[in-house]
Every structure is written in C-alpha cells, then in structure tokens.
Amino acid sequence: MKRIEAVNDFVVKFANVNGSGSASANELFAKSFLRMGIPVSPRNIFPSNIQGLPTWYEVRVTEKGYLGRRGGVDLMVQMNAQTWDQDLKEIEPGGYLFYDNTKPLPKSKFRDDVHAIGMPLTEICNASYTDARERQLMKNIIYVGALAGMMGLEPEAIAELIGEQYKGKDKLLKPNLNALQMGLNYAREHLKDALGLKARRANAVGDRIFVDGNSAAALGCVYGGATVCAWYPITPSSSLAEAFAAYCRRLRTDKDTGRAKYAILQAEDELASIGIVVGAGWNGARAFTATSGPGISLMTEFIGLAYFAEIPVTIIDVQRGGPSTGMPTRTQQSDVLACAYASHGDTKHVLLFPEDPYECFEFSALALDLADRLQTPVFVMTDLDIGMNQRLSRPFAWDDSRRYDRGKVMTAEDLEAGREFARYLDVDGDGIPWRTLPGTHPTRGAYFPRGTSRNPYAVYSEAGPDYVYNMQRLLKKHEFAKTLVPKPVLTPARAPARFGAIYYGSTSPAMHEALDLLADRGIYVNALRVRAFPFQDEIRDFVRSHHKVFVVEQNRDAQLKTLLVNEAGIEAASLVPVLHYDGTPITARFITREIAEAVARLNVRPLVRREEKAA
C-alpha cells in the first residue's frame, strides 16, 4: 500500500465533538510546530451548533509558508464517531487515520488505501483518571502527545507551551505535562514508524506572530483611537467586539481611577448598533461596529444617512455565507456589492480589503482615520477565514509619531476668529466640507443635519440645483478617497505574462501558492491584489496591459468583477471570473486548476519556462 511520506509539508485534520475541550489541545499541537520554526496554518471548521456536535480543526504544516487551505487530508485524527464515515472519505490515498481503538471496530469502518493507527485512548484515560471531565480533557492532551511522538515534534517545545498556558496554575500544569508524557510514551512503545509524516526543526517562522484577524482588528481599533463600540452578536464577528472589550480592559483603563476610556454597548440589534456609532461619530468620538452580512442588511438605512449627512463611521464586516444560520458560519466574500452600494439613493462607500491579521490591524486603525478625514462610512471587509482562524502574520507595527487624522473639524477658535462655516460647502476642492462638533461655540457653527434636503449651508432646501451640487460634491469626495486608500499590490510573474489576476482579502495566501504552482506548469500570471475601493487608476491600467485578467473571488456572482466593470472603466470582456463559493476557504489547488483550464480554453499555448530554456 502506498504510504504518504512527508516532512514539514502535510495536512492534519482533527474531527472532534464540539465542547469536548479539544480546541486548546489542537491549538497546542499547531503551535508546537511554530516553536520548531515550521509554519502552520490552522482552520476551524465548525457548524453553528454549539454543544455535542461536530467540529473540525485542520492544520496545514507548510515549511514553504503557504498559508492558504491546501485541500485534502493526510492524517485524520478521528475523535468523533458521528462523523467517522464522512471523515474517512476525505483522507488522501496512502494517508493515515488515527483513532481510538478501545472498542474494536468492524473492517467495514476502514479503507484499504488508508493506514489505520489505533490507540486505546479511552482505556488509558479510564485507567488514569476518575473524574469524567478530566478524562475528557486529558484524552485530548494524550493524543497530542502521541502525535508528537509519532511525528517527532519536540516534547520540550510542547512542554514550554503548556508551561506558558498554565503559568501560575500548578494544579493544572502538572497533570497536563503528565498526560503529554503518557501519549509520548505510548507512541514510542507502540507506534514507532506508524506515521510517515514528520516534523523537522526549520527556520521559516521568523518574527511572525500567530493571531486571528478579529483580535487583530480589535487591537487596530484600540490603537486607532476608537472609544465607542456598539455591536450585536453575530458569527463570525462577535469575537471581534469581545476582543475589543478585552483589550480595552487591559489597555484603556485609567490607572488612577480604574475608569474606562471607552464605551462598549451590546445593542438590541444592528439598527441600534449602527445608530449608536452614527451618533458617536457625529459627536466627534471615533466609533465602530463589527458585524456580518445580515447585520449589514439591517444597517443600510443608517449607512445612507451617514453617507449623506457625512458622519464618520467605521464598519468591520466579517463576511460569511448567505442568510440564516448553518452555512453562514462558513466563509465567503459575498458582501462586496452590498457594502459598496449600501443604502438608498445614490451611495458609494469606501471599502478596505485586508489580507491577513496584520492588515486587519492596520486597516482598522486606518479606517478610523479615513472615516474622520472623509466624513463617511468606511468598511473593513474581512471574512470568517481571516477573522476566526489564527494565522501567521507579520508582527503588528505602530509608529509612535503617528497622529490621528481627525479631519476637518472647526474649533471654537476658528469660529471665534470669524472663519466662515458652511457645513456642506466644498471650500478646499476635495469635496470634503468642514464640520463642527456639538457644543463648540455659543453662537456659531450650529447646524441641523438631515439627509439631503439642504443647501451647502445646511439650510433646508428641496431645490434641484442644491441637490445636484451636493451629489456632485459627494462624488468628488469619493474620487478624492482614491488618493487616501491603500494602493494595490503587484506581484509580478517570473517571466513576461499575457495574463493577469486580480484578487483580494483572504484569497491572498492561496493565490500566492497558486501563482507558484502555475509557474511550475509554465503558466505565468501577474497578480494584483486590490486593497480598497474606490479603485485607483493603477487597477484599470493593469487590466489594460494584459490579454485577459482573472478575477479570483469567493462568491457566486463575481462581485468585485462587477464593481471593477462599473467603477473602474474596465471592459467586462477582459475579465475572467474565477469563483469559489462552497463555504470552505479557497485553495491553491482550485485556483490553479481553474486558471490552467481557462488558459487552455482561451487557446493559448503556455509559455515555456524560461529557466528550462536556459538549462
């Protein structure tokens, strides 16, 4: 029988029962590789159900640092009888099934082309522990120990991690270390050479950090100076607001008084959460909300008001799939159009597309600046894949000389000095008017904002020319935003390329791997990562300088492509959509296959690899 043999390059998937305490053991497993200098990319796959139901954790071990989902499973750690049959199918031929063989299982439960590795986990636990919960929890650590033994993970690295986790909690530290050792011993004695997947110390992690995008975005909001957060629980965004609360307690509690330099409200719904953010933004506090697609739907009326009344608002949309519950706890990039044009009337909004936790941090802080500068809603478009999975990412960076851009706010001194205040007049030529905050001056600068029915002086007006002036100014402001939002990032192919690819957000790691795989096949593609809307001219120029450009996204309707055609003056015919939308994160294998097939269809002979020619 074939046997998959691999060093530092394989996929392990854990099938667990939700609520069994497996999450921290699995994370321990993933982190042990990092301590050995080997990059990993884990992903949670969990249905919306809370208790007693299946959950999976997939760890891609990748010395090359490909952090996208690979697809396929080399080792299945099967700890949930309910999903046995389905899990068994997923294993690659020649792969491995690690399972609890306390109770014998019929032959029909196995596959001829998969190596079964049994270990009597329940028996060992029952013999060592009496408490039911302890049996459950220690079982997880024991299997981590066994896996470590089989793979050659350094026990010191794992012990170090356990030590950090239970620092100061000796009561827990010891039993965990013992359990780990039990697993290690068992593997050494009984499972020698059972597994062809090995870990070998490398030096490929560097100074990178391991963090989920929601925590990163939350921290970005702390650094970016957000003081008001209003939210309504919705997966996959809830952990962002919760992380903001945790960071604020730590970093924003006044040392002398113990009082909070922030306000967080769990509102009654998303209408209220966005309303609170709008009110705070109007009143000069940096405010944000975190939500997902259904929340965006509920917020749209307010988003329009904020656009027209010109209120700074930051919205972090952790995208998921579609409405209702179930599938929605899977990942997608399917709110692009909903956010770009959210609300009634003619509206267009600024969108930022972070690719990883580093940019979640960066763009969340930036969004707060942009919202103040542009006096408009700004969306940070992340998704479940980045938001709820820990990802290796560049360390967060902050320049202490950086100052918040509070935008055009007239002060009491300005007003006192007789500076003219016209709330909706374009005085600087960038379409952005000046604003005053409530309570600034006893007699100057007050105004009564409402939707659009007003002239540049904020006086009620239903006159056509006033409306048109305002709409044109808003357009100018949107145009000006191009100069402020992050520029696209080009990854040139190793050889001249007729094809281009545009991608964004969480597709990034899979795309980079796909570019390598394609190049290996002689298909060269220049890749442009779009980081924001409105689109800069570079994006249009990129498309024009290629025969065809693939637009790779994780939704059904090619939403970014639609936006490119609508807003960047790009011919639809020059764009070829590559779409992945089954709720799982996009993979390099998928992108490679789609692009390779499309290239073949487009009837173009792949360029011969330059290196090959040279050789």
Among 326, 345, 438, 492, binds another protein (CB under 8 A): 438
Contact status, residue 437 vs residue 452, Cβ threshold 8 Å = no
Which residues inside 394-433 make contact with another protein, applying CB under 8 A? 395-400, 403-404
Q: Which of residues 531-560 bind another protein (CB under 8 A)?
A: none
Question: Would you say 368 or 591 has its CB closer to another protein?
Answer: 368
Are the CB atoms for 16 and 26 separated by under 8 Å? yes
Cross-strand partners of 501: 527, 550
Find the DSSP H helices in 283-351: 293-309, 336-340
Q: According to the binding rule CB under 8 A, does residue 42 interact with another protein?
A: no
**Binding status of residue 440 toward another protein by CB under 8 A:** yes
* Pairwise CA distance, residues 88 & 111, whole Å: 8
* Burial tier of 121 (Cβ tally within 10 Å: 0-12, 13-18, 19+): buried
From residue 147, alpha-carbon distances to 101, 186, 187, 465 in Å are: 15, 10, 8, 72
Q: Give bridge partners of residue 500 from the DSSP assignment.
A: 526, 549
Residue 446 touching another protein (CB under 8 A): yes
Q: What would the x/- binding string for another protein be over residues 341 to 380, using CB under 8 A? A: ----------------------------------------
* Smallest gap from residue 476 Cβ to another protein (A): 24
251 binds another protein (CB under 8 A): yes
The token pair that represents 471 in the structure block: 């709409």
Q: How far apart are CA 393 and CA 410, in angstroms?
A: 40
Pick out residues in 163-222 that bind another protein (CB under 8 A): 207-211, 219, 222
Stretch that binds another protein, among 102-110, 447-455, 484-492, 501-509 (CB under 8 A): 447-455
- Which one, 386 or 575, has the nearer CB to another protein? 386
Q: Give the torsion sign (CA, 64, 358, 322, 350).
A: negative
- The amino acid present at 245, given as its one-letter code, is A
- Residue 354 and residue 509: Cα distance in Å, rounded? 12
Judged by CB, which is closer to another protein: 263, or 427?
263
Residue 513 beta carbon to another protein: minimum distance, rounded to whole angstroms? 24
What is the side-by-side strand order in the sheet with 91-100?
Answer: 40-45, 54-62, 9-17, 73-78, 91-100, 115-119
One residue of 148, 305, 380, 551 binding another protein per CB under 8 A: 305
Closest to another protein by CB, 339 vs 368, is 368
Choose, by CB under 8 A, the member of 94, 322, 449, 522 that binds another protein.
449
Span from 138-146, 246-254, 464-472, 543-551 in contact with another protein (CB under 8 A): 246-254
Question: Quick one: tokens of 272?
Answer: 């209220």
* Phi, psi dihedrals of residue 388, rounded to the nearest 5°: -110, 5
Instruction: Report whether 534 contacts 481 (CB < 8 A).
Output: yes
Site string for another protein, 4-33 (x = CB under 8 A): ------------------------------
- Give 9's strand partners: 62
Structure tokens at 426: 């374009």
Question: Near another protein by CB under 8 A, which window of 70-78, 96-104, 280-288, 587-595?
Answer: 280-288
Minimum CB separation from another protein for residue 13, in Å?
A: 24
563 lies in the site for another protein, by CB under 8 A = no
Q: Least distance in Å: CB of 335 to another protein?
A: 21
Provide the β-strand partners of residue 210.
392
**263/604 with CB nearer another protein:** 263
Cα–Cα distances (Å) from 410 to 131, 287, 306, 423, 596, in that order, read 66, 20, 19, 10, 56
261 binds another protein (CB under 8 A): yes
